[in-house]
Amino acid sequence: MASQERINLLAPGHRACPGCGAAVALRQILRPLGRNTIAVSATGCVETFTSPYDQSSWEVPWMHSLFENSGAVASGVRAALDVQGEKDVNLVVISGDGGTFDIGMGALSGMLERKDNVTYICYDNEAYMNTGVQRSGSTPHAAATTTTPSGKKSYGKIEYKKDVPGIVWAHDAEYVATASIAYPQDLMRKVKKANEIYGPKYIQVHTPCCIGWGFDASKTIQVGKLAVETGLVPIYEMEKGQPVKVKKAAEKKPIEEYLKVQSRFKHLFKEQERDEVIKELQAICNANIEHFGI
């Protein structure tokens, strides 16, 4: 990539934890969008670590919505741009999984239903990290969080991860894709593609969180790759409701390889035998491998 393409729109000095996957995502998302962009973020780690008063890390205009309404705020920004005759401004939402899968789902649904011209990006660190690792609708099965603790009678989160790309697709969105910071060229291509399509678009970006998941800060990208190589986190685009351009894993890794490097799953290996739970997680991977053709 030529150096002028290495445009950097997240200033250093932000307060993300060392090794933060969400910060990596921000840099990769903003690069293909460029300066002619307005971003809206719901409350969450990204909003917090980029915006202490008067020390913004954003190099593009940015708005903080509430936790629950980034979709609606982006719709309003687009409506205002339309009234002003500003036709060529890129508009992106960058919100967490809590803000997307749970509390912001209604506002996102409305934005999709109205066919507003917004690229909605969910950075998915699989829990409410900013408030101290509470489970969300995105937290994977069996992960320990502060609200789904592990113990003698509990093995972590009972429910499965919600299929938000599928929910968005059911709204007949113009573009739906998943991506991971571990595959930056793929991620940047998808952001560029989405941005060039008119209407509502949704991209879900897997962003490992060293603090919430419990791994060393240097391993953020490796953990992201393992999530994909085991089949737990499928990377794809959707066309006519079917997954296409699925990221293949030549050598599928057993789920243990992903679980054992993260302390949110460590209870599956000690104290009590949790082989059944590991088998269940492997079955989720197998089903993904089959369904998506990983």
Partner 1 sequence: MLRVGSVCEAGKSRLNKTGDWRTLRPQVTDKCNGCGICELFCPDSCIVLENKKAVIDYDYCKGCGICANECPKQAIEMEEERN
Ligand X SMILES: Cc1ncc(C[n+]2csc(CCOP(=O)(O)OP(=O)(O)O)c2C)c(N)n1
Residues that bind partner 1 (CB under 8 A): 1, 3, 6, 8, 10-16, 18-21, 23-24, 27-28, 38, 50, 52-61, 63, 77, 80-81, 84, 86, 89, 181, 184, 216-222
Contact code string over 32-61 relative to ligand SF4, x by CB under 6 A: -------------x---x------------
Our CB check for Mg ion shows the closer of 94 and 177 to be 94
- What is the C-alpha to C-alpha distance for residues 240 and 242, in angstroms, rounded to an integer? 6
What is the token pair recorded at 156?
């972590």
Please give the C-alpha separations between residue 246 and each of 67, 292, 293, in angstroms, as whole numbers.
31, 7, 7
Q: Which of residues 117-146 bind ligand SF4 (CB under 6 A)?
A: 125, 129
What is the token pair recorded at 102?
């749970």
Please give the C-alpha separations between residue 31 and each of 164, 167, 176, in angstroms, as whole numbers.
25, 28, 20
Neighbours of 277 (CB within 10 A): 18
Q: How many residues bind ligand X (CB under 6 A)?
A: 18
* Residue 7 is a binding residue for ligand SF4 (CB under 6 A): no
The least CB distance from residue 106 to ligand X, in Å, is 12
Q: Which of residues 62-81 bind ligand X (CB under 6 A)?
A: 67-68
* Residue 97 is a binding residue for ligand X (CB under 6 A): yes
Please give the C-alpha separations between residue 13 and each of 33, 90, 129, 141, 287, in angstroms, as whole numbers.
22, 25, 20, 35, 42
Binding site for ligand X (CB under 6 A): 22, 43-46, 67-68, 96-99, 125, 127-131, 136
